[in-house]
Amino acid sequence: MKDKWAKRVFQAAAGTTFLILLGLTFFLFREGMPALYRSPYEELVFAVHPANPVQQLSTNAVRSLVRGEKSWRELGGPDTPAVAVHLGNIERYLSGPFLPGQLQRKLDSLAHLSGIFLALPASLMPGFAKRIRVPWRGGAEIFGSSRWSPTYEPVPAVGFWPLLVGSLWVGAIGLFVVVPLGIAMAIYVVEFLPARLYYPVKVMWEVLAGLPSVVVGFWGLVIVVPWVQRLFHLSAGETALTAGLLLGWMTLPLMASLVEEALQAIPQLLYESSYGLGATQWQTILRLKIPYILPSIATATLLSAGRILGETMVVLMVSGNAPILPLSPLDPVRTLPATLAAELGEAPVGSYHYHVLFLMGVFLFLLTLALNLTAYFIRPRDEKA
């Protein structure tokens, strides 16, 4: 009778876990997918002077027109300077307190400007203006653009590339630190560490693995950031390198434990066979043990990569938080998860910004899922030598 209840409790726990996971995934996709088919400026109308022959502008054309980087002439319009009016600069057209009708009169008075470009809600759009189209292609904007500026008016830039490349820099540097060091630590512990020091060292690993990442981030901010800044003569020490170094260091216990486990699992007779043939300890390590555990090293590397790519707090603190395409590891970067953490709080629920952040979450989820699944499928099976 008792057993039956115990079984039910376990079933319920397992079922709940599964449902929560399923629900989370569903929620992530449901909130993320609209970024692909909705537009960030659904409530805006774009318009120009009636004499302007332009019928349609690309999002890039709008951005460069607003920033003053391109003239109307280059975009097929009249030979007059562009005057852009949008929600980001509309307060310039208001003098003093907002009075109903005042703004409308002001906008109407711009009818004489043949270079006018308007991006406004339909309710504010003055009657003289000729509407044009600015089509939004979500997939191309998200995966093809190299700018991340999700609140830019009137047309945001939501390219994942700067953030993805930021993540890749941090991940590559982190792996560059954690893989060789993790293997070296594991070999040291298995091969050279005196037995009486084994447990103290393992306890230290556990402590390191259990450090809250905000503590690591704080330590990095105070110690590593100035150190990187001085070493490379930078104006700021918050770089991809700093974040990569810290994340690599944080992931060491995971990597080292996995490799150590694999080393300990090598059958004794197998390495005795190597010694029996006259191999030295180093020859046995390099020619037998490391080749033997290569699949485990690959698994451990992928799991570490997943951990590094998903880590948020430390990168948020020491990477410089600049969502620009980083060309060197000494550039400040922002990673995908750091962007989610930094921006989700200020993105209004249901806004395009909100959806695009969720899409980023989906992307990150698929990335780590792929890493973990690959690690799972290449992991060494129980093969008795």
Partner 1 sequence: MYKVETHSVSVWYGSYKALDAVSLALERNQVLALIGPSGCGKSTFLRLLNRMNDFIEGFRIEGRILIDGEDIYAPTVDPVHLRRRVGMVFQKPTPFPFSIYENVAYGLRLQNRLKESQVRERVVQALQQAALWDEVKDNLKRSALSLSGGQQQRLCIARALAVRPALLLMDEPTSALDPISTAKIEELIHELRNSYTIVVVTHNMQQAARISDMTAFFYMGKLVEYGRTKDFFTNPQHPETLKYITGRFG
Q: Which residues of this chain interact with partner 1, rule CB under 8 A? A: 195, 267, 269-270, 272-280, 283, 287-288, 291-292, 383, 385
Of 229 and 283, which CB lies nearer to partner 1 in the complex structure? 283
Min dist. Cβ of residue 190 to partner 1 (A): 13
188: which DSSP letter? I
212 vs 278 by CB, closer to partner 1 = 278
C-alpha distances in angstroms, 160 versus 167, 184, 339, 370? 10, 35, 10, 18
Least CB distance to partner 1 at residue 277 (A): 4
291 vs 345, which CB is nearer to partner 1?
291
To the nearest whole angstrom, how small is the minimum distance from the Cβ of residue 175 to partner 1?
25
With contact defined as beta carbons under 8 Å apart, do 88 and 153 qualify?
yes
Amino acid at site 344: L
Task: State the nearest-atom distance from the C-beta of 186 to partner 1, in Å.
Answer: 19
Length of the chain: 385
Q: In what order do the strands lie in the sheet with 116-121?
A: 83-86, 116-121, 44-48, 130-132
Looking at beta carbons only, is 346 or 383 nearer to partner 1? 383
- Pick the closer one to partner 1 by CB: 25 or 280: 280
- Rg of the chain on CA atoms, in Å: 28
- Nearest Cα residue to 158 out of 148, 170, 168, 166: 148
Residue 272 C-beta: closest distance to partner 1, Å: 6
In the complex with partner 1, the residue whose CB is nearer, 144 or 267, is 267
| Shortest distance (Å) from residue 254 CB to partner 1 | 25
Strand pairing of 116-121 and 44-48? Answer: antiparallel
The Cα 162–Cα 319 span in angstroms is 13
Between 285 and 342, CB nearer to partner 1: 285
Closest separation in Å from C-beta 263 to partner 1:
14
Question: How far apart are alpha carbons 347 and 235 in whole angstroms?
Answer: 31
**Cα–Cα distance measured from residue 333 to residue 342, given in angstroms and rounded to the nearest whole number:** 13
Q: DSSP code of 380?
A: P
Give residue for tokens 């570490």.
304
The whole-angstrom separation of Cα 291 and Cα 307 is: 25
Q: How far is the CB of 383 from partner 1 (least distance, A)?
A: 7
Nearer to partner 1, 194 or 345 (CB): 194
> How does strand 83-86 pair with strand 116-121?
parallel
Q: Based on CB atoms, which residue is closest to partner 1, 267 or 350?
A: 267
Q: Are 318 and 246 in contact (CB under 8 A)?
A: yes
Angle (CA) 105-107-112 rounded to 5° is 105
How many beta carbons lie within 10 A of that of residue 85, not counting itself? Answer: 24
Q: What is the closest distance, in whole angstroms, from the C-beta atom of residue 283 to partner 1 in the complex?
A: 6
